Amino acid sequence: MKLIYIKSTITPKDYSVVREILKKERGEKLAPFVYKLSKLDSLEKYLNKENINYEVYQENFNKSDKKAPAKSKSKAQELKKAYQDFAKNQKLKKELSIGKIRPALVISNNAQNEFDDQIIVAPLTSEPKEVSKERPFTVLIKVGKGNGLEKVSKILLNRVQTIDIEKRLRDYIGRASPEIVKKSQGALKIVFD
């Protein structure tokens, strides 16, 4: 198996052709613009014809395979590491970008909340499409006295996050009822079971 990394920016038309070739050759997309194939002939032919810049790497071999040349093996590892770094950076950007401000239920215990600079929360959504869905890992929370909500919402206990108190935590808006806390604990058991 070989890895191919398409370095040039490609048009939607070129991307469609690449996808068709991958489908035909039973190739696998590993990362953005990184593909794994056993036969590269047709893909390389197309990329060369369209003057699309690319690199080919030898995938790490299993023990039963012949040993890959050291340079190729390290190139494949470099490519894999570069993608992992890219993915981590994208995840970090997503985590740091607040987008819209949304309420969340604090689910970490009081000791962590008092002594740590981070807390664990479950975000809430008031999107009608999400609120109408019945799922065992979400809890419906209605507008009520003391909870500070303006709309009926769902607590998304399948999307718990650790957030930085100084950077991400905003204002206290209210308190969940003991019934909601109990339901949330049950949903968390389902998520982590």
pLDDT tens track for 123-135: 999 999 989 998 9
Shared-domain flag, residues 90 and 145: no
**pLDDT less than 50: residues of the chain:** 61-72, 96-98
| CA proximity to 187, closest of 126, 124, 112 | 124
Say what the pLDDT of residue 88 is: 64
Shared-domain flag, residues 57 and 87: yes
What is the Cα–Cα distance from 96 to 89, expressed in whole angstroms? 10
Shared-domain flag, residues 80 and 119: no
The secondary structure of residue 117, as a DSSP letter, is: S
What is the Cα–Cα distance from 186 to 136, expressed in whole angstroms? 9
Q: How far is CA 146 from the centre of its chain?
A: 34
| CA proximity to 124, closest of 146, 100, 89 | 100
Name residue, tokens 């050291």.
Answer: 70
Using a 10 angstrom Cβ sphere, with 0-12 exposed, 13-18 middle and 19 or more buried, the burial of residue 9 is exposed
Say what the pLDDT of residue 121 is: 95
Shared-domain flag, residues 181 and 127: yes
CATH number at residue 7: 3.30.70
Shared-domain flag, residues 10 and 92: yes
Shared-domain flag, residues 52 and 125: no
What is the Cα–Cα distance from 50 to 48, expressed in whole angstroms? 5
What total of structural domains would you count in the chain? 2
| Contact between residue 180 and residue 152 where contact means Cβ atoms under 8 Å apart | no
Q: Last residue of some domain: 77, 96, 115?
A: 96
Say what the pLDDT of residue 152 is: 96
Say what the pLDDT of residue 59 is: 56
Which tokens is 165 given? 């108190």
CATH number at residue 184: 2.30.30.110
Range of the domain at 81: 2-96
What is the Cα–Cα distance from 30 to 83, expressed in whole angstroms? 9
Shared-domain flag, residues 128 and 161: yes
Strand partners, 29: 35
Q: Last residue of some domain: 96, 113, 143?
A: 96
| CA proximity to 2, closest of 49, 53, 51, 41 | 41
Q: Does pTM top 0.75 for this prediction? A: no
HEC string of 119-161? EEEEEEECCHHHHCCCCCCEEEECCCCCCCCCCCEEEECCCCE
Shared-domain flag, residues 160 and 84: no
Say what the pLDDT of residue 25 is: 84
Say what the pLDDT of residue 4 is: 81
